[in-house]
Structure 1
Amino acid sequence: MISLFEEYGVKFAYLFGSRAKGDRPPSSDVDLAVYLGESEPGRRFDKKLSLISRLGVIVKKDVDVVVLNDVRNNFLLAEIIRKGKVIFNCAPDERFAFAVAKQHEVTDFITHFHHVATGTNFSKN
């Protein structure tokens, strides 16, 4: 799997979901989140589809791949970063910077969501 990640320009990857938690029901798929070095969104999508196919052959399970570069769901990002297991990391500094930046975004989002939901406003006048 490492050589496949290197071939596709994966900078780091997480295993997340039920398998990261240790649950391994026979029917469960494998959830992977990858950060790609590719800057073009269309090419990232093509790589995602190809990775799903090739990884499925390797692990002999259905595989779901999330491209971290493109994730906008803050709750999913938080789940992956906090509870996922790093399974590949050829760019530790980049992974650290990504995780810190996304944690800040998630915290800001949750704070904003709380203010909207409760009708509170902590801005200084």
Structure 2
Amino acid sequence: MDSVVAILREAGASTAYLFGSRARGDEGPTSDYDIALLLKEPGDAVATFELQTELVLSLAKVLGGPVDVVMLHQAGPTLRFEAVCRGQCLFAPDEQSRIDYELKTRREFEDYRHIQSFYTQAMKERLAR
């Protein structure tokens, strides 16, 4: 993973997480590598997409399998929660920064989940009419 971390740092990532089946240890022969990044300086949508594409290609060569790269500043609360709170931190600027971001992500997810439950209940009631 040292070469992966080097590539991610060189690309401008301040923090990175491995998540999904490989982080849980239940990967299969066709499992991809799910990597989530926080960028030091996120660019516009086009620049971010180009960086994401470059990383997918270069990391796939290093890891020898398919890679999915998620930019956390563009991800929704559920995906951020999955990556950050259930994944493995590959690197962060420091321990306190990592903890602060993980707590913020957890709070945002809990708020979202609470609101989503009201929406889901209202939809069920409306469909039952």
Correspondence list, 1:2-21, <5 A: 2-21=5-24
- Stretches of structure 2 that go unaligned for 5 or more consecutive residues are 123-129
Q: Normalising by structure 1, what TM-score?
A: 0.83
Shift of 1:91: 4.6
Shift of 1:104: 1.5
Partner of 1:44: 48
Partner of 1:63: 67
User: What is the Cα-based RMSD across aligned positions, in Å?
Assistant: 1.7
Instruction: Mark the CA change 1:43 to 1:97 in structure 2 (over 3 Å): closer, same or farther.
Output: farther
SS at match of 1:24: coil
SS at match of 1:113: helix
Partner of 2:30: 27
Aligned residues: 118
SS at match of 1:99: helix
Q: Normalising by structure 2, what TM-score?
A: 0.81
Within the candidate set 106, 109, 120, 1:106 is matched to: 109
Q: For residues 23-56 of structure 1, what are the alpha-carbon distances to aligned partners after superposition, in whole Å with 9 as ceiling and x for unaligned?
A: 1211111111111112323322211111000000
Question: Which structure shows the bigger proportion of residues in helix conformation?
Answer: 2
State the identity %.
29
Instruction: Measure the CA separation in 2 of the matches of 1:35 and 1:92.
Output: 15
